[in-house]
């Protein structure tokens, strides 16, 4: 049996966030989601699960449920569901573009007895950002969301498992997204049985933490269910301490210079700005939104350029770190929408910004650092679109030098660097930002002095 296609919207996300209490920005804030894997808003895993169960239970109760989230479902994905009967249950496969996104294994039992669900408690107001050390052996309890609004949204499932267990299932989303692991997490799998009443509390305990794959497993009990859940648990960025950076740069080494650091609010750009400042420079930092001294959207740079004019910026160097999210979910060998995202920043946006800056400084030399990637030479399978866009950016840099004689381009194919853009759940060797950038900064500043 195949069910009709389903496409989730941002409005769907906000509705489920209100029902469950899982307001993790990965699920409801497109701007924030763009900065982390997989680069776009991710559909709540439990929203997907509850909606599917509501369709397939068909008056039957549930005894056991196991779910594996193979790939994150993103807003706009056209989802197809295939349902296969098994002895005593169902297997439900969720697909997008013929790729498996999730698998549900159901074992049926008697429908839940009618019972008054416990009142809702106070849910977490903001997601925790736990470090691996804070997750180790962590345990506690969490209030569950209100059962009545959930029963209105998923009426057939409420009759199958009862309002208390429905709140327990929704509470698993809140546990993972808000409590543990919290902010930097993606649901991986769950296996629960349905039994017993609920006191309105979900109790949890971390039973395993695999740092190699950033995976945390928790035992859960309460809310009319018991079992385990697992999630991929990323970690917040931890920049080097200012005093460590200062110790690498001679005082006054970059004094008297006011370089422009585009995308300097975080990641490699922030490291570059801190190194410049440690050497006595006064960098002007831009951010896509409000991060930095100047708000500059490279895909529409007019307002940012006007702000530079207002500030009277007249520096001789530019460092270009504007970037969309690099690592993304992959369903196809080539994904045109990803290439368009990269090209909009690395090619089109860069070109428009260079045109604008040369108009602001028509007679003055300008040295520009453009970070390319070693992936250009041999693109990994999961970075094809990124590498193609960077390769196009390299060609554009050469064309710009021919067009504008006073423009000097410094293009470097950087290795994988440990930064917000390149961190993934699986631990991969990466270079330190300071060790990569400091020699480049010295060369660029020397050319522009």
d(CA 43, CA 71): 11
Q: Report which of 273, 281, 272, 271 is spatially closest to residue 250, judged by C-alpha positions.
A: 281
Q: Which residues are paired to 201 by β-bridges?
A: 143
223 confidence band (pLDDT: 50, 70, 90): confident
User: How far is it, in rounded angstroms, from Cα 259 to Cα 7?
Assistant: 45
Over residues 327-346, the mean pLDDT reads 92
Distance CA 304, CA 58 (A): 56
pTM (two decimals): 0.77
369 — pLDDT class (breaks 50, 70, 90):
very high
Residue whose tokens read 């350029």? 305
Give the pLDDT of residue 203.
95
CA 309 to chain centre: 34
Q: How far is CA 433 from CA 56, 189, 267, in A?
A: 50, 34, 8
**pLDDT at 425 (0 to 100):** 45
- Residue 77, H or E segment: none
Nearest to 186 by CA among 246, 142, 247, 230: 230
**How far apart are the C-alpha atoms of 343 and 390, rounded to whole Å?**
8
pLDDT bucket at 248, cuts 50 / 70 / 90 = confident
b/e per residue, 107-127, with b = 16+ CB within 10 A?
Answer: bbbeebeeeebbebbebbeeb
Measured in whole angstroms, the distance separating CA 153 from the mean position of its chain's CA atoms is 28
Tell me what pLDDT residue 236 has: 55
Measured at the alpha carbon of residue 244, what is the angle toward residues 241 and 249, in degrees to the nearest 5?
Answer: 130
Model confidence at 423: pLDDT above 60: no
Nearest residue to 135 via CA among 256, 36, 234: 234
User: What mean pLDDT comes out for the span 310-321?
Assistant: 94
Q: Average pLDDT of 280-303?
A: 86
């Amino acid at each position: 049996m195949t069910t009709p296609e389903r496409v989730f919207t941002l409005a769907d996300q906000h509705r489920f966030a209100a029902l469950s209490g899982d307001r993790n920005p990965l699920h409801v804030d497109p701007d924030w989601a763009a900065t982390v894997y997989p680069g776009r808003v991710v559909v709540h895993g439990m929203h997907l699960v509850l909606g599917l169960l509501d369709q397939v239970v068909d008056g039957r109760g549930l005894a056991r449920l196991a779910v594996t989230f193979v790939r994150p479902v993103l807003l706009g994905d056209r989802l197809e569901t295939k349902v296969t009967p098994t002895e005593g249950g169902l297997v439900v496969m969720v697909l997008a573009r013929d790729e498996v996104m999730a698998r549900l294994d159901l074992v049926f039992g008697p429908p839940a007895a009618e019972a008054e669900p416990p009142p809702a408690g106070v849910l977490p107001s903001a997601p925790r950002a736990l470090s691996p050390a804070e997750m180790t052996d962590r345990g506690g309890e969490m209030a569950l969301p209100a059962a009545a609004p959930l029963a209105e949204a998923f009426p057939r499932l409420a009759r199958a498992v009862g309002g208390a267990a429905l709140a327990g299932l929704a509470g698993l989303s809140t546990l993972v997204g808000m409590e543990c692991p919290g902010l930097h997490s993606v649901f991986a799998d769950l296996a629960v049985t349905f039994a017993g009443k609920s006191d309105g509390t979900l109790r949890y305990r971390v039973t395993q933490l695999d740092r190699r794959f950033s995976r945390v497993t928790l035992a859960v009990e309460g809310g009319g269910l018991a079992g385990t859940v697992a999630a991929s648990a990323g970690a917040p960025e931890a920049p080097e301490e200012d005093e460590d950076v200062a110790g690498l740069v001679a005082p006054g080494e970059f004094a008297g210079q006011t370089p422009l650091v585009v995308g300097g609010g975080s990641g490699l750009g922030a490291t570059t700005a801190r190194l410049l400042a440690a050497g006595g420079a006064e960098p002007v930092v831009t951010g896509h939104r409000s991060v930095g001294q100047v708000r500059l959207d490279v895909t529409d740079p007019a307002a940012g350029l006007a702000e530079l004019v207002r500030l009277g910026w007249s520096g001789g160097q530019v460092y270009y770190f504007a970037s969309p999210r690099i690592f993304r979910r992959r369903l196809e060998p080539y994904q045109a929408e990803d290439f368009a995202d990269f090209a909009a920043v690395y090619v089109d946006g860069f070109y428009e910004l260079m045109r604008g800056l040369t108009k602001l400084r028509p007679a003055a030399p300008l040295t520009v650092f453009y970070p390319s990637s070693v992936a250009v030479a041999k693109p990994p399978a999961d970075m094809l679109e990124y590498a193609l866009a960077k390769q196009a950016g390299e060609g554009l840099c050469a064309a710009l030098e021919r067009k504008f004689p006073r423009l000097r381009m410094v293009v470097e194919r950087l290795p994988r660097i440990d930064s917000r853009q390149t961190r993934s759940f699986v631990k991969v060797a990466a270079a330190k930002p300071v060790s990569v950038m400091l020699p480049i900064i010295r060369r660029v500043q020397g050319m522009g002095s």
